[in-house]
Amino acid sequence: MYYSSGNYEAFAHPLPPEGVENKQAYIIGSGLAGLAAACFLVRDGRMPGEKIHILERDPRAGGGCDGWDYPGLGYTMRGGREMDNHFEVMWDLFRDIPSIEDPSVSVLDYYYWLNKRDPNYSLCRATQDRGQDAHTDNKFNLSDKACMEIMNLFFTPEEELQDKVITEYFSDEVLNSNFWLYWRTMFAFENWHSALEMKRYVTRFVHHLGGLPDFSALRFTRYNQYESMILPMVNYLESHGVDFQFNTHVTDVRFSCDDAKDDDRKLATEIRLVREDGPAAVDAAEGVQPDGKTAPAVDLAREETIPLTENDLVFITPGSLVAHSSFGSQDAPARFAPELTPGDGWDLWKRIAAQSPEFGRPEKFCGDPEKSNWESATVTTLDEKILPYIEAICKRDPLSGGVVTGGIVSVKDSSWLLSWTINRQPQFRAQPEGQVCVWLYGLFTDVPGDYVKKPMRDCTGKEICEEWLYHLGVPEEQIEELAEHSANTVPCMMPYITAFFMPRADGDRPLVVPEGAVNFAFIGQFAETPRDTIFTTEYSMRTGMEAVYTLLDIDRGVPEVWGSVFDLRVLLNATVLLRDGKPATDMNMNVLEKLLLSRGLKEIEHTDIYGLLKEFGVIPTTDENRDVPVPATGAVWPGIH
């Protein structure tokens, strides 16, 4: 497997890989990673669909990429996906998958046209004082010291960031800024999370700095991502005859490997699993226990095995961001139930990791769910009474069918640190006219709310809605009535939602294809691939592509992670944007530093470097340098896309 960029590799089709006719594949997990792996096996590996078996514990595909109308509960979306134009692997695949909205065009084309016609941007990024605009006004509000702290992290090598936490790099100068409000609410970073992953994020998305404060960097699908992304992939795979096996809990994968030997050949030798049927299986898999019942454990006495040979390829999704997530209802809280059980993604990874040090250290990620949980809720408005409060904040009609909030609105002074968003309505194809599906989440689930004096995790759907309505500015005497009769709210607690942000070091996540692996690969958020960032649809799909391309030795480049961090134009642009447009010459400097800077600039005055500094505003345009030529960069300043 090798990386590439540019059109030559992007548009070429690989030749069928050697020996594929003798192979079959077992994919554990039908999240985005597993589905992407299956699609690449079909499209680029030319493996017949009937030789691809997807083993999934849930009763449907999609994993964490969901959006369902759950009988008896209502509409639920555990999350909403903010996406980027440089999710290179995702678009590589989606150009060939027919869309659900219009099967005569690809997912990519539909999405492209939609986001051209109806671009995303926010008109109110944050509120305070019960629905008042917090007037962050697209400013990062970073001091020179704060900028230096961010730059320092940006340039620190990953080797030095092993097991480090964000607060070892950022002081209150960063943590009290608008930058951090935008950042942590948008990406769900907590102060105690991994400095290494934070560095990956700032480098990976450096080209989006200009579009961060108002979300003009983002794009969204037409419907929820289960309908707009998962269903098209499932349809594509089913049309090729891929074998989906639902309610199938993989309890273990066994390997023959001896790390002590020189020859560290590792072979997956058998898959162990339990098949469940009926409503109990559905409840256990989805964690739907609004009545407080405990989900039945998988019955290990019913374990079956699938023996494997070198020609049986196994793709394993270890861990899961939505494992043990549980839905509440309008009248019941979602349970915080992080205990691991056989047949879940974490227990499976633990059993696998026990067989070789190269299979990672799951406990680094799942060991402290108090630090990796948060809770979301889907509010469905049932009449028009709440809509004017929404419109007053986001300044758009929620029922227009187009962009509404244009990304999350964060409630700056909320104890739960609530953020909420409304994407294009309807979010579900079957959603009744006039109803609006709102997604909200709270980063801090263990502290009392500002209106509802209870921690979010102890609140029913109705109480969560009350807290949200309070922060929308609904008069207090109307809050209870509206939460009760004008909305249905389904909470979802996710104990491991940010498990991948826990501080980590090399080796904590297994490589996509570990050293010596003959017939297996790890995919998804807990497999290690260089440079890319977790908690993205792209990361999961990328690991699926890299795994397939490596195990089948497909002779075409995997698109590299977008290389904006190596683009001087982007870096210069970012230095100015980070300082809210101020040139570097305005930084606090002593007389000597100022002198050295001005001498240095004189030295390079007649070079392209000087022209670039001027073009991107790193140095101001003055009477003296007005006529200095700038190189033709082709960049669209200030948001280089």
Ligand X SMILES: Cc1cc2nc3c(=O)[nH]c(=O)nc-3n(C[C@H](O)[C@H](O)[C@H](O)COP(=O)(O)OP(=O)(O)OC[C@H]3O[C@@H](n4cnc5c(N)ncnc54)[C@H](O)[C@@H]3O)c2cc1C
364-423 positions binding ligand X, by CB under 6 A: 376
CB of 30 to ligand X, least distance (A): 5
Q: Which is nearer to ligand X, 340 or 552 (CB)?
A: 340
CB of 160 to ligand X, least distance (A): 27
Q: Which is nearer to ligand X, 495 or 611 (CB)?
A: 495
439-498 positions binding ligand X, by CB under 6 A: 497
**In degrees rounded to 5, what are phi and psi of residue 533?**
-110, 140
161-200 positions binding ligand X, by CB under 6 A: none
- Told to check if 528 binds ligand X by CB under 6 A, we report no
Query: Mask: binding to ligand X, 227-266, rule CB under 6 A, as x and -?
Result: ---------------------xxx----------------
26-65 positions binding ligand X, by CB under 6 A: 28-34, 55-58, 63-65
CA angle, 62 then 67 then 73, to 5°: 120
* Count of chain residues binding ligand X (CB under 6 A): 38
Place of tokens 């003959």: 518
- Told to check if 120 binds ligand X by CB under 6 A, we report no
Closest alpha carbon to 28 in 57, 66, 64: 57
CB of 82 to ligand X, least distance (A): 4
The span of 25-33, 145-153, 398-406, 472-480 binding ligand X (CB under 6 A) equals 25-33
SS3 of residue 72 by DSSP: coil
Q: Of the candidates 321, 418, 547, 565, which one interacts with ligand X according to CB under 6 A? A: 321
Exposure string for 52-63, b = 16+ CB within 10 A, e = fewer? bbbbbbbbbbbb
Interatomic CA distance for residues 41 and 53, integer angstroms:
11
608-637 positions binding ligand X, by CB under 6 A: none
Structural Rg of the chain based on CA atoms: 25
Q: Of the candidates 224, 228, 317, 421, which one interacts with ligand X according to CB under 6 A? A: 317
Q: Which is nearer to ligand X, 57 or 471 (CB)?
A: 57
Closest alpha carbon to 89 in 150, 43, 30: 43
Place of tokens 């102060």: 191
CB 328, CB 290: distance < 8 Å: yes
Q: Which is nearer to ligand X, 232 or 611 (CB)?
A: 232
Interatomic CA distance for residues 229 and 95, integer angstroms:
12
- Told to check if 81 binds ligand X by CB under 6 A, we report yes
CB of 32 to ligand X, least distance (A): 4
Q: Which is nearer to ligand X, 31 or 455 (CB)?
A: 31
Query: Mask: binding to ligand X, 532-571, rule CB under 6 A, as x and -?
Result: ---xxx--x-------------------------------
Place of tokens 């305070």: 128
Interatomic CA distance for residues 207 and 204, integer angstroms:
8
CB 483, CB 336: distance < 8 Å: no
Q: Of the candidates 344, 508, 532, 615, which one interacts with ligand X according to CB under 6 A? A: 344
Q: Where are the alpha helices (DSSP H) in 288-344?
A: none
Strand 326-327 versus strand 487-494 pairing type = antiparallel
The span of 257-265, 343-351, 424-432, 575-583 binding ligand X (CB under 6 A) equals 343-351
**In degrees rounded to 5, what are phi and psi of residue 226?**
-65, -45
Place of tokens 């790193």: 618
Q: Of the candidates 212, 267, 340, 348, which one interacts with ligand X according to CB under 6 A? A: 348
Q: Which is nearer to ligand X, 57 or 364 (CB)?
A: 57
Q: Which is nearer to ligand X, 61 or 482 (CB)?
A: 61
Tokens of 582: 């101020």
Catalytic residue among 82, 190, 286, 375, which?
82
Interatomic CA distance for residues 616 and 637, integer angstroms:
7
Interatomic CA distance for residues 147 and 13, integer angstroms:
44
CB of 255 to ligand X, least distance (A): 16
Tokens of 386: 């709440």
Please state the separation of Cα 465 from the chain's center in Å: 25
Q: Of the candidates 43, 51, 53, 78, which one interacts with ligand X according to CB under 6 A? A: 78
492-511 positions binding ligand X, by CB under 6 A: 497
Residue 356: which residues within 8 A CB-CB, separation 6 or more?
255, 257, 259, 266, 514
CB of 278 to ligand X, least distance (A): 17
Q: Which is nearer to ligand X, 560 or 615 (CB)?
A: 560
- Told to check if 524 binds ligand X by CB under 6 A, we report yes
The span of 42-50, 164-172, 338-346, 398-406 binding ligand X (CB under 6 A) equals 338-346
Structure-derived torsion over alpha carbons of residues 510, 512, 514, 518, reported in degrees to the nearest 10: 140
Place of tokens 């999240």: 31
Interatomic CA distance for residues 89 and 106, integer angstroms:
15
Please say if 82 is a catalytic residue.
yes
Catalytic residue among 75, 110, 201, 441, which?
201
Query: Contact residues for ligand X (CB under 6 A)?
Result: 28-34, 55-58, 63-65, 78-79, 81-83, 248-250, 317, 320-322, 343-345, 348, 376, 497, 524-525, 535-537, 540
Residues identified as active-site: 82, 201
